[in-house]
Amino acid sequence: MPLALLALAIGAFGIGTTEFIPTGLLPEVADTYSVSIPTAGYVLSVYALGVVVGGPLLAVLGIRVPRKRMLLSLMGVFIAGNLLSAVAPSFGVMLAGRVVAAFAHGAFFGIGAVVAADLVAPRKRAAAIATMFTGLTAANVVGVPAGTWLGHAFGWRTTFAVVAALGAVALAGIAALVPAHAGAPEGGEAARDTRLRPEFEALRNVQVWLAMGMTVLGFGGVFAAISYVAPMMTDVAGYSEGAVTWLLMLFGVGLFAGNLVGGRFADRALMPNLYVSLTGLAASLALFTATAHHKALAAVTLMLIGAFGFATVPSLQKRVMDQAAGAPTLASSGNIAAFNLGNALATWLGGVVIAGGLGYTSPNWVGALMALAALALAVLSARLERRSGGRTAARRGRAVASGTGTTPVPAAPAVSAGASGRVPEGARDLEGHARQR
Q: How many CA atoms lie within 13 A of 131 on its CB side?
A: 21
Is residue 274 scored above 70 in pLDDT?
A: yes
- At 416 the pLDDT is 38
Contact 22, 150 (CB under 8 A): no
Which of the pair, 331 or 169, is modelled with greater confidence? 169
| 287-322 tens-digit pLDDT | 999 998 988 999 999 999 989 998 888 888 888 877
Contact 296, 74 (CB under 8 A): no
Contact 5, 123 (CB under 8 A): no
CA–CA separation, 24 vs 17, rounded Å? Answer: 11
Which of the residue ranges 155-169, 331-345, 391-405 would you say has the lowest mean pLDDT? 391-405
- At 73 the pLDDT is 92
| 378-434 tens-digit pLDDT | 999 989 888 876 555 445 555 444 554 444 444 444 443 333 344 444 444 434 444
| Cβ density class 129-155: b for 16+ within 10 Å, e for less | bbbbbbbbbbbbbbbbbebbebbeeee
- At 199 the pLDDT is 64
CA–CA separation, 310 vs 365, rounded Å? Answer: 19
CA–CA separation, 266 vs 364, rounded Å? Answer: 26
Is residue 255 scored above 70 in pLDDT?
A: yes
- Reported as a pLDDT band with limits 50, 70 and 90, residue 286 is very high
SS3 205: coil
Residues in Cβ contact with 339 at an 8 Å cutoff, skipping those fewer than 6 apart: 215, 216, 219, 313
Selection from 15, 17, 76 nearest residue 51 by Cα: 15
For 99-120, what is the mean pLDDT? 85
| Cβ density class 191-229: b for 16+ within 10 Å, e for less | ebeeeeebbeebbeeebbbbbbbbbbbbbbbbbbbbbbb
Q: How many residues does the chain have?
A: 437
Contact 139, 202 (CB under 8 A): no
Cα-flanking dihedrals φ and ψ of residue 160, to 5°?
Answer: -70, -30
- Note the Cα 140 to chain centre separation in Å: 15
Contact 177, 115 (CB under 8 A): no
CA–CA separation, 238 vs 267, rounded Å? Answer: 41
Identity of the amino acid at 304: L
Average of per-residue pLDDT values in the chain: 79
Is residue 186 scored above 80 in pLDDT?
A: no
End-to-end Cα, the chain, rounded Å: 49
SS3 194: coil
Contact 217, 373 (CB under 8 A): yes
Which of the pair, 78 or 181, is modelled with greater confidence? 78
Is residue 227 scored above 80 in pLDDT?
A: no
